[in-house]
């Protein structure tokens, strides 16, 4: 798969010209956005992964197979960032989500071990209010060991408003990769 980093944008004026369908990767800090990006394109070094949250501080645009643009958004909920910086990130993200004509799908990543947090629910409601299609992806699914944990995660993470359902994902095993690609291709057909 051919992939390339296009640019990092800290302001809407830096966004590339719209064109190819764009897939936005969003979720709390340290939820596994970069790991998901890397696993989808079968590489370890497209997006920077770190155990330290808050590393993505701009919108990073990646071209994938000359068919899609993947957009890695800053994680939310990271406490060690000033309120001013968090407000600037929020404004940047909202500008992208509201005004981007080529945005075809938002991948809303939720840590399967922790479930919906208030900020996740707030983002989900925002996406629904503004009519942005989204796919819920339950990350770190391989960390759930007991059948009861798996069942609880599947039931509690399902977003009834999303017609796309829930995809359990593991960067370790690759579980969910095929389903996420299917959601991406389907969203491209809708736009």
Q: Which two tokens mark 91?
A: 């404004």
pLDDT category at 57 given cuts 50, 70, 90 is low
Instruction: Assess contact for 64 and 52: CB atoms under 8 A.
Output: no
> For residue range 137-150, what is the model confidence (pLDDT) as tens digits?
999 888 877 777 77
**Among the ranges given (17-26, 48-57, 87-96, 164-173), the one the predictor scored with the smallest mean pLDDT:** 48-57
Average pLDDT of the residues of the chain: 82
Domain extent at residue 176: 3-190
Residue 49: predicted pLDDT: 46
Task: Indicate which CATH number applies to the domain containing 11.
Answer: 3.40.50.300
Domain count of the chain? 1
Beta-carbon-side half-sphere exposure of residue 28 (alpha carbons within 13 Å): 20
pLDDT category at 40 given cuts 50, 70, 90 is very high
If one compares 154 and 136, the residue with the highest pLDDT of the two is: 136
**Among the ranges given (27-36, 59-68, 111-120, 157-166), the one the predictor scored with the smallest mean pLDDT:** 157-166
Residue 50: predicted pLDDT: 42
pLDDT category at 136 given cuts 50, 70, 90 is very high
> For residue range 58-76, what is the model confidence (pLDDT) as tens digits?
899 999 999 999 999 988 7
Q: Which two tokens mark 37?
A: 């990006």
Strand locations in 66-165 (E): 68-72, 103-111, 134-139
């Amino acid at each position: 798969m051919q992939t390339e980093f296009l640019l990092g944008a800290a302001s809407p004026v830096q966004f590339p010209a719209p064109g190819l369908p764009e897939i936005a990767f969003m979720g709390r800090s340290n939820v596994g956005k970069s790991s998901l990006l890397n696993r989808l394109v079968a590489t370890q070094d497209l997006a920077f992964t770190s155990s330290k949250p808050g590393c993505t501080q701009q919108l990073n645009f990646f071209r994938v197979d000359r068919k899609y643009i993947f957009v890695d958004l800053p994680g939310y909920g990271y406490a060690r960032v000033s309120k001013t910086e968090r407000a600037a990130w929020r404004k940047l993200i909202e500008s992208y989500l509201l005004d981007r004509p080529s945005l075809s799908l938002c991948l809303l990543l939720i840590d399967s071990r922790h479930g919906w947090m208030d900020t996740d629910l707030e983002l989900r409601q925002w996406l629904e209010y503004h009519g942005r299609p989204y796919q819920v992806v339950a990350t770190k699914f391989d960390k759930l060991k007991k059948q009861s944990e798996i069942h609880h995660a599947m039931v509690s993470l399902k977003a009834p408003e999303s017609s796309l359902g829930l995809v359990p994902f593991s960067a370790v095993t690759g579980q969910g990769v095929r389903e996420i690609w299917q959601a991406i291709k389907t969203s491209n057909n809708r736009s």
